[in-house]
């Protein structure tokens, strides 16, 4: 189910100084979206299952010290991930935060390359130098996971400006957590996007918690999609545990950005099943809350719905699970067997083009001399 706030079209702006006349918000009809067929639904379920098994394997690898640094998982957010990616064309750009493994998989990057990156291996999507929080692949137009909260939001607005400047029909989608909506870069980016009519869809993945603090305790307006109204930006909130609802809401947002070059703010309510990262035991959650989250698991919910609709039998589910588990096992084996990046490549991507006098000294190298 989607709740939408739509703003009236912006009045023609005068280029002279002076106040703009405020316009009231009006409701607009939502165009019909074709339903998903059985094969499409099974495909969505398989993608969600792949993300679930991949993230479970990543959590295991972290405890085995095969993954270092930070590691944030999409467990419980699979319907949101798959629904959002289903709304994009291969030519569209994606910026996201550090909880991005599932998005990389759904964008079409192989599980082997993603797992190898988590392991810090040279065969990884970022050649082993990015790790869990910094997946990047220009070919699929995944332009990065970002470790700094909100660091991706101004960059996404900049990419949308580049698309607009070149006259392209690509759309930029930018994901963020609920906590990002409280920082200055969020508001600055939405303001610029609204002023310049940029083809960007900002997506707030509201899992209810900024690390361990609830949205209700950190946001004066906890219905985060309403913040788009401050910039006369169309916005909506959607149930992030329903893959088809997310896809349909995202399609409307993306097509508005593509056809009208108008920004959009979409909020998905998608609780995570585990802690903020793999090392967070989530003790701030009560036993009752954990049980409620388990009962609302989007993967189990979709499996049940498909079974009840006669689309996917229990045996079919077991077969898919075996296929996906084998794929993830193969990805883990590939990562295990892949070499670590050579130290000499550490500075290869500091700059996009060669820079005279670039410092490439390693910590143990002498300050002076050869």
CA 93 to mean position of chain CA atoms? 11
- 21, part of any domain: no
Task: State the pLDDT at residue 7.
Answer: 40
Model confidence pLDDT, tens digit, residues 168-227: 999 999 999 999 999 999 999 999 999 999 999 999 999 888 888 888 888 888 999 999
Model confidence pLDDT, tens digit, residues 32-67: 445 679 999 999 999 999 999 999 999 999 999 999
- 230, part of any domain: yes
Closest CA to 271 of 186, 177, 133, 134: 177
- 28, part of any domain: no
Compute the CA torsion angle 99, 103, 104, 108 (nearest 10 deg): 170
- 359, part of any domain: no
Domain count, the chain: 1
Residue 133 belongs to what domain range? 35-336
Model confidence pLDDT, tens digit, residues 324-344: 999 999 999 999 999 999 988
Task: State the pLDDT at residue 296.
Answer: 87
Block residue for tokens 């996009």: 352
CATH code for position 57:
3.40.50.970
- 179, part of any domain: yes
Contact 173, 200 (CB under 8 A): yes
- 226, part of any domain: yes
Tokens of 225: 């999609």
DSSP code of residue 12: P
Model confidence pLDDT, tens digit, residues 257-307: 999 999 999 999 998 888 889 888 888 888 888 888 888 899 999 999 999
pTM of this structure:
0.87
Report the C-alpha gap between 326 and 324 in whole angstroms. Answer: 5
- 11, part of any domain: no
Block residue for tokens 């220009």: 138
236 contacts: CB under 8 Å, gap ≥ 6: 2, 3, 4, 5, 225, 249, 252, 253, 264, 265, 266, 267
Tokens of 35: 């339903």
Q: Which residues pair with 97 in a beta bridge?
A: 146
- 332, part of any domain: yes
Helices (H), the chain: 38-63, 78-86, 101-106, 111-118, 152-166, 184-196, 215-218, 243-260, 287-295, 298-308, 314-337
96 contacts: CB under 8 Å, gap ≥ 6: 103, 142, 144, 145, 146, 152, 174, 175, 176
């Amino acid at each position: 189910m989607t709740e939408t706030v739509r703003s009236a079209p912006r009045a023609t702006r005068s280029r002279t100084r002076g106040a703009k006349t405020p316009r009231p918000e009006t409701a607009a009809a939502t165009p019909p979206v074709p339903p998903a067929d059985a094969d499409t639904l099974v495909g969505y379920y398989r993608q969600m299952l792949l993300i679930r098994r991949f993230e479970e394997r990543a959590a295991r690898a972290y405890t085995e010290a095969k993954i270092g640094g930070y590691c944030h998982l999409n467990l419980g957010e699979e319907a949101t991930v798959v629904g959002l990616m289903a709304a994009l064309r291969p030519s569209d750009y994606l910026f996201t935060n550090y909880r991005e493994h599932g998005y990389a998989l759904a964008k079409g990057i192989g599980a082997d390359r993603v797992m190898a990156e988590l392991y810090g291996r040279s065969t990884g999507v970022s050649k082993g130098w990015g790790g869990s929080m910094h997946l990047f692949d220009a070919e699929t137009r995944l332009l990065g996971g970002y470790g700094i909260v909100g660091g991706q939001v101004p960059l996404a607005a900049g990419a949308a400006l580049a698309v607009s400047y070149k006259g392209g029909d690509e759309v930029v989608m930018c994901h963020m957590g609920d906590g990002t909506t409280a920082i200055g870069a969020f508001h600055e980016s939405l303001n610029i996007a609204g002023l310049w009519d940029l083809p960007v869809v900002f997506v707030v993945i509201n899992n209810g918690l900024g690390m361990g603090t609830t949205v209700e305790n950190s946001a004066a307006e906890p219905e985060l999609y309403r913040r788009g109204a401050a910039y006369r930006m169309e916005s909506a909130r959607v149930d992030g545990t329903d893959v088809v609802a997310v896809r349909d809401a995202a399609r409307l947002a993306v097509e508005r950005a593509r056809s009208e070059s108008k920004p959009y703010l979409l909020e998905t309510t998608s609780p995570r099943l585990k802690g903020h990262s793999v090392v967070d035991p989530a003790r701030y959650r009560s036993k009752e809350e954990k049980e409620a989250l388990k009962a609302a698991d989007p993967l189990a919910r979709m499996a049940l719905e498909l079974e009840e609709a006669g689309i996917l039998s229990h045996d079919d589910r077991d077969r898919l699970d075996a296929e996906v588990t084998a794929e993830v096992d193969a990805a883990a084996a590939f990562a295990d067997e892949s070499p670590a990046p050579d130290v000499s490549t550490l500075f290869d991507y500091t700059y996009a083009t060669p820079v005279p006098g670039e410092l490439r000294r390693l910590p143990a190298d002498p300050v002076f001399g050869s």
